[in-house]
Amino acid sequence: MPVILHPEHVVKAYRDERPSITRLILEARWAHHRLTYAREHDPDSTTTLALRRLQLLHAGALCDVLALRTRDPDFYEAARDHGELLRKVDGLALDDHPRNGLNHLRAQYARLHHHSHGDSCRTAHVTDDSLPPRYPINRPGPWLVHQMLDSYAWAALSRSPRFPAVDVADEQRRHLITRGLLLDWATSTATTDNAAAAAAATAGHALRTLDSRPALNDLRARAYLLDAFRDLDDQEEGDPHPHDCAGGCAGTGEVLTVLTWDCHGDGIYTAVHQEPILCLGAPTGHAPDCATCEGHGFTYTTGYRELCLDGRISDGEPVAASVAPQGA
């Protein structure tokens, strides 16, 4: 029986390992869960930096393989950004070569699996100048990856009474939808990946069972994932933001914000991690009675400063009590 090679297998870092999309998702969500758990339960632990490195490595590899599969530029940029952050964690320079972030990510993935091809990742790729097929959701792919990882972590963490504001069932449903969509997207240009297609269909069937809907065939179950996501997205977006939104989101409802800074001492911090957060439609301040940060707007762990999202308020709004944890 001939071995079916997918686009990522032309890259040396993935060629010997031939990782599946389902396995990449399992690795990335477990690494994300471990880091989230450590940050919430023991932020001063000496293992936090190592867990953050694993999270960058596995989430970056997932974005990289999705980029190779779908040719989506947002996935490519996300993979490169993860690689640059990984270089930062590993104490390497960020400005000596524009491709070093992605090369470093692939090299470290290969070394993690004991392959010798990690140091030589600049294999010429098969190029395709045609436009990539557009996946029918109005959200960037890296956002979908983050939602999938975050919903898994919070669905697991919130089974304890420590986070009573988090709806576990809602996080589980969100995870089913986003994971199913990523699997479905991965098969859209690699139609021979029967395992990923079957996993996407399984997610669709599980979602219909959760929603108390009758069973459908595999194709219609996968289509149900899209319908459920659009309904969920419509509920969360509410009124669309204008293109000249005062919050700076340009109508997307999200703003790219630095969340983590590296402490160099003497009050000197370097930004090391950013991601999209909810736009409140106006410049934001911070509630002085925020239970998480006591109104400072930041929390601090060994070597890092983190932006506190719990007490954000829009300018002009009355000061309110703290809100539920981000990711809830």
Lowest mean pLDDT among 22-31, 228-237, 285-294, 305-314: 228-237
Is residue 327 pLDDT above 50, yes or no? no
pLDDT of residue 194: 92
pLDDT band per the 50, 70, 90 thresholds, residue 75: very high
Are 17 and 106 a contacting pair, CB within 8 Å?
Answer: no
For 3-44, the pLDDT digits (tens) are 568 888 888 889 888 899 999 999 999 999 999 998 888 877
The position carrying tokens 């000496």 is: 46
Is residue 130 pLDDT above 80, yes or no? no
For 90-114, the pLDDT digits (tens) are 887 656 555 578 988 999 999 888 8
Is residue 124 pLDDT above 70, yes or no? no
Averaged pLDDT, 229-242: 70
DSSP string, 132-181: PPPPS-SS-HHHHHHHHHHHHHHHHHTTSTT-TTS-HHHHHHHHHHHHHH
For 259-297, the pLDDT digits (tens) are 888 888 777 888 888 888 878 888 888 888 887 888 888
Eight-class DSSP state of 8: G
Distance CA(124)–CA(69), nearest Å, equals 16
pLDDT of residue 128: 55
DSSP string, 114-132: T-GGGG---PPPPP--SPP
Q: Most distant CA pair in the chain: distance in Å? A: 67
Q: What is the pTM of this model?
A: 0.71
Q: Is 83 helix (H, G, I), strand (E, B) or coil?
A: helix
Is residue 320 pLDDT above 60, yes or no? no
Q: Is 202 helix (H, G, I), strand (E, B) or coil?
A: helix
Q: Is 320 helix (H, G, I), strand (E, B) or coil?
A: coil
